[in-house]
Amino acid sequence: MSSQTETDRSGPFDLLVVGGGIVGLAVAREAAAAGASVALVDREVVRGGDATDVAAGMLAPVGELDFGEPDLLKMNLDSASLYPDLCVELSSETGIETGYRRSGGLHVAPDADEAAVHRRMLELQVESGLDSRWLGPGRARELEPALSPSIHGAVFAADDGSVDPRMMALALEESATRSGAILLRGREIASLLLEDDRARGVRLADGPEILADETVLSCGAETGRLSWLEPDLRPPIRPVKGQVLELAGDPGDPICHRAIVSERVYVVPRPDGRVIVGATVEEKGWDRTVTAGGVHELLREAYRVLPEVAELEFLRASAGFRPGTPDNLPIVGRTVCSGLSLATGHYRNGVLLAPLTGRAVAGMLADGLDHAPGMEAADPGRFRSRAGVV
Ligand code: GLY
């Protein structure tokens, strides 16, 4: 590795990642593990404050399936299939347990209207080759005894699972640094360094330059408004607010054993007894307020499917921003500026898509490819004709 520490110039690194959420960490970890010299810059002093830290961690290629999104389904399934081995590797490398579970998801209908919606989605899931099936109320309650007696049935989505995103990010960070990646936290960026129209790294706000052959931006929703990036290079990403609750339950007697999902809420149990209740979907720009209405809606809807949530201790409520894109696909690949790539825009699937994104971006850069392999549909070029961006 050719890095120096904290002089006026560091590098040149093979790769500089900007953004230390789960996606940036996955890219850094994958590249460092493959032998690249890697630096990662994040403006937060400690991990926290980004979408990773409020995410419930549902790994839900089935739960997130919608009509007309076959490319997203394929990427989601491909990334879900990387999770089991990755979590075993991370655990043996770092000793950090990610809380990964492939216990399926239960899409519960609290009333007849929602039952009709779930049955229609089940048709789509089965047409898409997914292992999902309808369970009547009795069968659903055998699987999850705390479900309300008044539910109208449920879809069991066998391919879904969950992970603790914070532990996953911690494990990726630890693994990346063990492979030699250098993490610079609490550092703002002042400008992109350009040489003959090629990106060559960044200048930090406190002075030093971090030189790199390739720079990857993984700043989540912020990527759409980076002040130090030319407007033409900013991807079309908007913040989509989500409010999330954290409750404390008994790990020895969990309220549920898998993600319980209805139209307006999901309840995700963690191995340590915590229960995550998420999430509102709000188009309110950069407003991060936790509102009484948001908390009320989440608790009301959770109570409809799992009345015992009322007994759990309320730990906290928080809000974060999903990086939304015009077509709900992520934005992963090279920009028109050589040496500058994007790994962002994962909207509702950042935690799920992190392993695939890490592998695809590291592979693209290592092999000098034009597109991120396995994520071609996410290439930034699809927006070029629209607005002259990215
Ligand atoms: N992945 C679930 C959400 O974005 O709320």
Q: Which helix (H) or strand (E) holds 112?
A: helix 112-127
- Helix 165-178 to helix 70-94 angle (10° resolution) is 60
Instruction: Give the distance (Å) from ligand 1 centre to CA of residue 348.
Output: 4
Task: Express each pLDDT in 174-219 by its tens digit.
Answer: 999 999 999 999 999 999 999 999 999 999 999 999 999 999 999 9
Q: What is the pLDDT of residue 309?
A: 97
3-state DSSP call for residue 354?
Answer: helix
Q: Where are the domains of the chain?
A: 1-101+161-237+326-390, 102-160+238-324
- Kindly give the number of the ligand 1 atom that is closest to the alpha carbon of 347: 4
- Would you state the pLDDT for residue 371? 97
How far is the C-alpha of 43 from the C-alpha of 362, rounded, in Å?
22
DSSP 39-107: EEEESSSSS-SSHHHH---EE-TTTT--TT-HHHHHHHHHHHHHHHHHHHHHHHHH------B---EEE
For the Cβ of 330 lying below 6 angstroms from any atom of ligand 1, the answer is no
Whole-number Å distance, alpha carbon 247 to ligand 1 midpoint, is: 17
Kind plus residue range of the DSSP H or E element containing 294? helix 292-305
Q: CA 323, CA 51: separation in Å to the nearest integer?
A: 8
Per DSSP bridges, beta strands 259-261 and 105-108 are parallel
- The stretches in the chain having pLDDT less than 70 are 1-7, 47-49, 385-390
Measured from the Cα of 244, ligand 1's closest atom is 5
278 lines ligand 1 (CB under 6 A): yes
Residue nearest to atom 1 of ligand 1 (CA): 348
Q: Residue 260: exposed, middle, or buried by beta-carbon count in 10 A (0-12, 13-18, 19+)?
A: buried
Instruction: Compute the Cα dihedral for 81, 35, 3, 211 and give only its sign.
Output: negative
- Give residue 264 CA to ligand 1 midpoint distance, Å: 11
261 pocket-lining for ligand 1 (C-beta < 6 Å): no
pTM metric for this prediction: 0.94
Class of domain 1-101+161-237+326-390 as given by CATH: alpha beta
What is residue 41's predicted lDDT score, i.e. its pLDDT?
Answer: 97
Backbone φ and ψ for 316, nearest 5 degrees, come out as -165, 165
348 lines ligand 1 (CB under 6 A): yes
**Does the beta carbon of 242 sit less than 6 angstroms from any atom of ligand 1?**
yes
Q: Whose CA is nearest to atom 3 of ligand 1?
A: 348
- How large is the angle between the packed helices 70-94 and 350-367, nearest 10 degrees? 80
Atom of ligand 1 nearest to the CA of 64: 1
Write out the two tokens for 389. Answer: 């961006």
- Provide the CATH number for the domain formed by 102-160+238-324 in this structure: 3.30.9.10
